[in-house]
Amino acid sequence: MISAFTGQQIRNAEQPLLDSGEGAVLMQRAAYGLAQEVVREVRKRRKLTGASVTVLAGKGNNGGDGLFAASMLARRGMRTTAVLAADAAHPEGLAAFEAAGGRVLHLESGDPEELAVVAAGSDVVIDALLGTGARGGLRGAAAELVACLQELGPACVVACDVPSGVDANSGEVHWPVLEADVTVTFGGIKAGLLADPGEGCAGRVVLVDIGIEHLLAAPELRRLTAKDAALLLPRPTRRSQKYSRGVLGVVAGSERYVGAAELCVHAAAVSGVGMVRYQGPEAAARQVLARTPESLWESDEPGRVQAWLIGPGVDGNEQQDRARKAFRSALDAGLPVVVDAGALSLLPERCPANWILTPHAGELATLLGSLHAAGEVAVTREDVESRPLHFVRLAAQQTGVTVLLKGASTLVASPSGVVFSQSEGTPWMATAGSGDVLAGVLGSLMAQSAEALTDDDGAYAALGLAVEDRWAAVAAVAATVHGRAGTAASRVFDGGPLTASAIMGAVPHVLGSLSAECDSRKR
Ligand SMILES: NC(=O)C1=CN([C@@H]2O[C@H](COP(=O)(O)OP(=O)(O)OC[C@H]3O[C@@H](n4cnc5c(N)ncnc54)[C@H](O)[C@@H]3O)[C@@H](O)[C@H]2O)[C@@H](O)CC1
Ligand SMILES: [K+]
């Protein structure tokens, strides 16, 4: 499991070491890790000696890290320039940089555009303007410099701890931000590097241990690795039969949106569920059965199911009535439910903890509006997109159920406050029907997972997941499977565009390769 922390959590962990006078040692470790990563980036492009690096240094410790790293690089034969953004700089860092022969330029007395040209001409730019001590984003001349530099498109940007302007705690972004190729982060990954829009500015994230890791509190954000997902995936045994494997009831599609039913039923079927019972109008059912003859169409009373998927493409009175009926039946039987798209507006007053809502940003804004969760102020899609971590958590707390917010990074919040972030997909997955596929995969995993979730000695317990957060983990597994399937499918087309059907086609391969990874580790 990958863990991410707030800036405050990192500072709390550092405090005992700072109190015992080890601050300088921590900074040397951070700077060394940063310098090593810059060396790696330079070597991908050219030889080290004579390569140029410009460090943009703020006045705090983040700037100190950058200046110390640049002084190490100067000693290894690189041509180093520091652009000091403020009237002051980290004194020891600046002294070390000057002693190593680095050139110092001052933003206060210079022209931001000219300095941006200098920086853009170097092989690597280190962004050490703001770190975890930032309040808001870049301002004045520093903002101008960064905006110009971003426009010029530097060859390689390495961010020190966080890209300056990205909120380390939340991933909120205060523009302008210099988008990084690599972010080298110290002591613990910052939560803002695993949540959009911050994650979109961070590039590849490299964690440098500085000796505080054992002092960190419970993470703010978690990300399942392939190994974690493999452990949590349900798998059949020799004693399995189709009913014991899990049966999923699906209320999806309508006269108008036939394809949504087709996609989510097929996605569920290829994700390992024992059987799918479909409920919907005849026009949709014909298509569903044509694509997935393994499914059953039940126009009235459904047979026994272990979980429900309700909502993709649900539209019109007739299908909305079926959705409401399925909600009641799930409530009576205590069954888990995925609530997606057209069913999000039909939710009963109170939902049980084993339900999972799967909105996109616009649907989450509408949902929060209907809950009056943000007080009198209306929440817009743009609000959710700029603060997804905040709003997904708020929605989970207000509804009392797990909420999966779809996006480039998919966030899954448990009402307890635990949040997962999965980001294995490709931007090509922003395509019609992609969400229906995710809903099908999730419904399928829910129908198969119910028993394992209460197991005190199983995989969930082995990963340290509290019982109340296990549905969120199931949703995170679905998100990673969906993302990996999209990336795998796009690779088949040399990184080209995708349809939802192509994503779905890759799901069995992803499940197979994850399971194989789990098996090879056991051997
Ligand atoms: N505390 C420690 O022992 C360690 C800290 N480290 C580094 O220290 C950083 C945190 O250092 P600091 O707490 O000094 O914080 P920062 O370096 O992030 O910056 C804080 C300084 O910038 C000013 N500032 C804040 N917001 C600003 C804005 N929007 N525009 C302009 N100036 C602004 C503040 O007045 C303060 O002087 C981490 O991100 C990390 O890079 C590492 O060296 C590892 C060890
Ligand atoms: K920075």
Give the pLDDT score at 235: 87
Ligand nearest to the backbone CA of 134 = 1
Q: Give nearest CA residue, ligand 1 atom 11.
A: 61
Find where tokens 């039946």 sit.
Answer: 329
* Contact partners, residue 224, CB within 8 Å, separation at least 6: 1, 2, 232, 420, 422, 473, 476, 477, 480
φ, ψ for residue 137, nearest 5 deg: -105, -170
What percent of the chain shows pLDDT beyond 70?
98
Tell me the pTM.
0.96
Give the residue, out of 132, 146, 158, with the most ligand 1 atoms within 8 A of its beta carbon, to mutate for a pocket test.
132
Contact status, residue 232 vs residue 210, Cβ threshold 8 Å: no
Give the pLDDT score at 373: 60
Cα–Cα distance for residue pair 465/436, rounded to 1 Å: 27
Q: Atom of ligand 1 at shortest distance to CA of 10?
A: 1
Contact status, residue 312 vs residue 342, Cβ threshold 8 Å: yes
- 374-431, pLDDT tens digit by residue? 566 789 999 999 999 999 999 999 999 999 999 999 999 999 999 999 999 999 999 9
Give the residue, out of 62, 107, 144, 190, with the most ligand 1 atoms within 8 A of its beta carbon, to mutate for a pocket test.
62
Answer whether 18 contacts ligand 1 (Cβ < 6 A).
Answer: yes
For residue 385, report the distance from its CA to the centre of ligand 2, in Å.
23
Listed as ranges, residues in the chain with pLDDT below 70 are 373-376, 521-523
Give the pLDDT score at 374: 56
Give the pLDDT score at 452: 83
Answer whether 99 contacts ligand 1 (Cβ < 6 A).
Answer: no
Give the pLDDT score at 175: 97
Q: Residue 190's closest CA among 227, 216, 155, 161?
A: 161
Task: Write out the residues surrounding ion ligand 2, Cβ under 5 A.
Answer: 127, 160, 164
Give the pLDDT score at 523: 59
Average pLDDT, the chain: 95
Q: Which CATH architecture has domain 227-418+433-522?
A: 3-Layer(aba) Sandwich (3.40)
Domain ranges for the chain, please list them: 2-223, 227-418+433-522
Answer whether 66 contacts ligand 1 (Cβ < 6 A).
Answer: no
Q: Which CATH architecture has domain 2-223?
A: 3-Layer(aba) Sandwich (3.40)
Q: Atom of ligand 1 at shortest distance to CA of 174?
A: 29
